[in-house]
Structure 1
Amino acid sequence: MKKLYFLPFALICFPAFSQTSYKAQVGKQADALEKQVIAWRRDFHEHPELGNHEVRTSGIVASYLKSLGIEVKTGVAKTGVVGILKGGKPGPVVALRADMDGLPVTERVNVPFASKVKAMYNGQEVGVMAACGHDSHVAILMGVAKILSSMKSELHGTVKFIFQPAEEGAPAGEEGGAALMVKEGVLENPKVDVIFGLHINSQTEVGKIAYRPGGAMAAVNDFKITVKGRQAHGAYPWSSVDPVVTSAQIIMALQTIVSRNLNVTENGGVVTIGSINGGNRSNIIPEQVEMMGTIRNLSAPDEKMFIERIKTIVQNTAAAAGATAEVKIPYSTHYPVTYNDPVLTEKMLPTLQATAGAENVLLRPAVTGAEDFSFYEEKVPGIFFFLGGMPKGGNPLTAPSHHTPDFYIDESGFTLGVKAMCNLTLDYMAMKSK
């Protein structure tokens, strides 16, 4: 294991916290911590770990939180770490979350700290890369923990630091991620009043923050469709019940859900078939075809409607062809809508604007990507926002996207993330202590 070096404490020791000037204090401390946060991120980037296997990462996090005098719980949801910082004054419990896992992606970025890690994933050896920015999330929240712990005696409430495994999904056959953390009581003892989270974004310019009240990221359900017909020689299709043709009809009919059943003036939605498998020879009509797909929705009613329509279309289309079909939805994955509480978002928007500058806080459209931060927001009010990581002047249409081998983040944006998370915590506490 490569040793992780920390900057000498003397270089990052800060003046006492002042209730009347905490934003200025946060700013000074975050600026002083910039090199340390970047060093943490580079170390995590060079040593990524897949979901439910974040042993090294969680060990470093737990050790550092303990060094700050923060109460630490380990082994939460397998490899998760929870830190509890009890302030010197009564007030609410504010949770802050960072995800820790990497992805089965082989890195192509030419940086000195590029990952060369290999691991087993679904029975195959794969490259591992922090190809979604979770390494930066961990480093930023460690910086936040440093600053807020230095203000402990003046904090009006408690801060719960949640370092979460397996946001990208648990290994096959395992539970994991935010859902398991909630199940194991991460929002209790003490009971969380509000939760904040951020996600670095490679296609938002560094120095900017993007947010959206309400449905900000989509609910996701994967599904599996099995179409069963009657096998026959390809020269005599009238002897078959062809599951290939039936599957083609199903695929096309499913697209009418978005075009004819969804009110597109209110919300977007997606039905995608990502794989289709059936048969093994050109002149044999197979007995069975299997399809896998995903749906994305931005409201709970739309999610319910999509599920019902998929089942109806699949079963009736199959029946019309003389075939049968089975639908499993969700098949293995379900995340709710990432829903930013509108009232809370309105109250905290001035904090983001004061931190980044009003001109740098952007209202963004909803996206059809999904986030398991949504499981926390099902239980308590929350805000999940995006932090710019694209170099200044970059083109978001050509910047390497998340989950790709060329994913790249400008590290100069990390300090803004540290400041934003600190200020959201302190301002929320101030609001509740009045």
Structure 2
Amino acid sequence: MKNCYSLAAVLALTLVAAGPVCAQKGKPATSADLTARVAQLAEQEKTQVIAWRRDLHEHPELGNQETRTAALVADHLRKLGLEVQTGVARTGVVALLKGGRPGPVVALRADMDGLPVTETTGLPFASKVRTDYNGQQVGVMHACGHDTHVAMLLGAAEVLVKMKKDLPGTVKFIFQPAEEGSLPGIEGGARLMVKEGVLENPKVDAVFGLHIQAQTEVGRLSYRPGGEMASSDVFSIKVKGKSAHGAYPWLAVDPVVTAAQIILGLQTIVSRQAELTEDAVVLTVGMVHGGVRNNIIPEQVELTGTIRCLNKDMQQKVWAAVRRTATGIAESAGATAEVDITNYAPITYNDPALTRRMVPSLERAAGPANVTIQKAVTGAEDFAFYQEKVPGLFVFVGGMPKGTDPATTAPHHTAGFFVDESGLTLGVRTLATLALDYLNGK
């Protein structure tokens, strides 16, 4: 085709300098045409996407408190001429882009919240925000890259608005609060968005999301069909005994010693009861609370922790084992154990059929050599709540400088967390390409 990019040029990602792309006169745009146009527009948005990211990074907000972030997002989406709804699931923003022709509905999601972490990166735009969290003064930081997610989705919205005529259907942009959770007892995040109908009116047919990965080189995408990220369950075990003076333990039913035995017993669920050749399991006790004085045996000790599983059958077996272990050990000591287990997030499950269908789109966005299947992750993502309702695909995009040893990089959720911003343009391309290809039946 004259004055248009070749597919080889697309995969080489040398599209931007050559000028606009076009379809052959009288014929619809091909995948190569659309990919080339996406790459061109995404490159044009590069500076703006980085500026958004830096602004958001400098002004992070905790879950269900993302008022400034939501206002920035809503204001820009309105400037693009989109239908915008605010206040969804407290601070969420949802926008609709109706394409040039009728067709299906695809959703693209980004999460907006930061974490109670005091930043130590030394970046010129590092967060200096402090706030009260759970009764403590804490720093606030985008220590998991949600600032990049918002910036990449805003960039994708810019690209897709400019390609509206090539959209046979509707794109729903979901900017979600509280992916990291909120204060105890306060509902939020994807669970609440789904409950409030974010996947309806119009009904979403498929949903896509990205997560920056600070231990993967820029320019690379990774995914996993089926169970990609673990479910996240919170368990609480209240061990109740009988109080007494610490000098006379025979007068007590000691919940401290009993709780210690329960902690050790819980570890055998993973090491001796879980079939680890099938799937990974993680069980961690993160908090132990009990007692007020060194010489008083308390009446109660509370254990709190997390369970991570990659399939539902294993999850149910582990839940049963936690209850059995805690109550059995407590009974053997003459104490009681009350066990409560709450699901924070389901398994992040990439629909196999949708994943197979969209892998060529990922390869068009990044180049086939830069798209890989990854191992399962025991971290969790509440994107899973959308995937419980409609087919979904969740993809990781590289954010580590090229040539860096992953072992030397700061992990997610830590004070030194760092993202190479040159990787954000690939995220914009990927989101836009997934939406375009899905709506065009690719």
State whether residues 347 and 380 of structure 2, in contact with CA within 8 Å, keep that contact through their aligned partners in structure 1: yes
| Structure 1 match to 2:336 | 324
| Structure 1 match to 2:10 | none
How many angstroms does 1:40 deviate by?
0.5
State whether residues 250 and 313 of structure 1, in contact with CA within 8 Å, keep that contact through their aligned partners in structure 2: yes
State whether residues 35 and 364 of structure 2, in contact with CA within 8 Å, keep that contact through their aligned partners in structure 1: no
> d(CA) in 2 for partners of 1:154 and 1:16?
13
User: What amino acid does structure 1 have at the position aligned with 2:170?
Assistant: T
| Structure 1 match to 2:362 | 352
TM-score (ref. length: structure 2): 0.92
User: What amino acid does structure 1 have at the position aligned with 2:298?
Assistant: P
How many angstroms does 1:260 deviate by?
2.4
User: What amino acid does structure 2 have at the position aligned with 1:335?
Assistant: A
> d(CA) in 1 for partners of 2:344 and 2:151?
28
How many angstroms does 1:43 deviate by?
0.5
> d(CA) in 2 for partners of 1:180 and 1:274?
26
How many angstroms does 1:83 deviate by?
0.6
| Structure 1 match to 2:253 | 241
User: What amino acid does structure 2 have at the position aligned with 1:126?
Assistant: V
State whether residues 87 and 157 of structure 1, in contact with CA within 8 Å, keep that contact through their aligned partners in structure 2: yes
State whether residues 233 and 344 of structure 2, in contact with CA within 8 Å, keep that contact through their aligned partners in structure 1: yes
User: What amino acid does structure 2 have at the position aligned with 1:319?
Assistant: E
- 2:406 maps to 1:396: yes
- 2:281 maps to 1:269: yes
> d(CA) in 1 for partners of 2:163 and 2:20?
10
| Structure 2 match to 1:251 | 263
| Structure 2 match to 1:10 | none
> d(CA) in 1 for partners of 2:20 and 2:70?
29
Aligned in 2, Cα 1:212/1:346: closer, same or farther, shift over 3 Å? same
> d(CA) in 1 for partners of 2:416 and 2:338?
39
- 2:237 maps to 1:225: yes
Trace 1:80-229 onto structure 2 (pairs within 5 A).
Answer: 80-229=92-241
User: What amino acid does structure 2 have at the position aligned with 1:184?
Assistant: E
How many angstroms does 1:60 deviate by?
1.0
In the TM superposition, what whole-angstrom CA distance separates every residue of 1:305-364 from its partner, at most 9, and x where no partner exists?
A: 11111111111110111001111111xx51100000011111111111222122211211
| Structure 2 match to 1:364 | 374
How many angstroms does 1:15 deviate by?
5.5
Structure 2 residue aligned with 1:420, among 395, 413, 430? 430
Structure 2 residue aligned with 1:338, among 348, 357, 378? 348
> d(CA) in 2 for partners of 1:303 and 1:211?
22
Aligned-partner SS, 1:82: strand
In the TM superposition, what whole-angstrom CA distance separates every residue of 1:75-94 from its partner, at most 9, and x where no partner exists?
A: 10011000100111121100
State whether residues 77 and 176 of structure 1, in contact with CA within 8 Å, keep that contact through their aligned partners in structure 2: yes
| Structure 1 match to 2:14 | none
How many angstroms does 1:16 deviate by?
8.1
Structure 2 residue aligned with 1:283, among 257, 274, 295? 295
State whether residues 102 and 131 of structure 1, in contact with CA within 8 Å, keep that contact through their aligned partners in structure 2: yes
| Structure 1 match to 2:387 | 377
> d(CA) in 2 for partners of 1:235 and 1:73?
63
State whether residues 111 and 146 of structure 2, in contact with CA within 8 Å, keep that contact through their aligned partners in structure 1: yes
**CA RMSD of the aligned region, Å?**
1.4
How many angstroms does 1:172 deviate by?
2.8
> d(CA) in 2 for partners of 1:60 and 1:281?
50
Aligned-partner SS, 1:272: strand
User: What amino acid does structure 2 have at the position aligned with 1:215?
Assistant: G
State whether residues 20 and 40 of structure 2, in contact with CA within 8 Å, keep that contact through their aligned partners in structure 1: no
Q: Which runs of 5+ in 2 are unaligned?
A: 1-18, 24-28
> d(CA) in 2 for partners of 1:365 and 1:154?
35
State whether residues 16 and 151 of structure 1, in contact with CA within 8 Å, keep that contact through their aligned partners in structure 2: no
Q: Which runs of 5+ in 1 are unaligned?
A: 1-13
State whether residues 17 and 154 of structure 1, in contact with CA within 8 Å, keep that contact through their aligned partners in structure 2: no
- 2:423 maps to 1:430: no
How many angstroms does 1:272 deviate by?
0.6
TM-score (ref. length: structure 1): 0.94
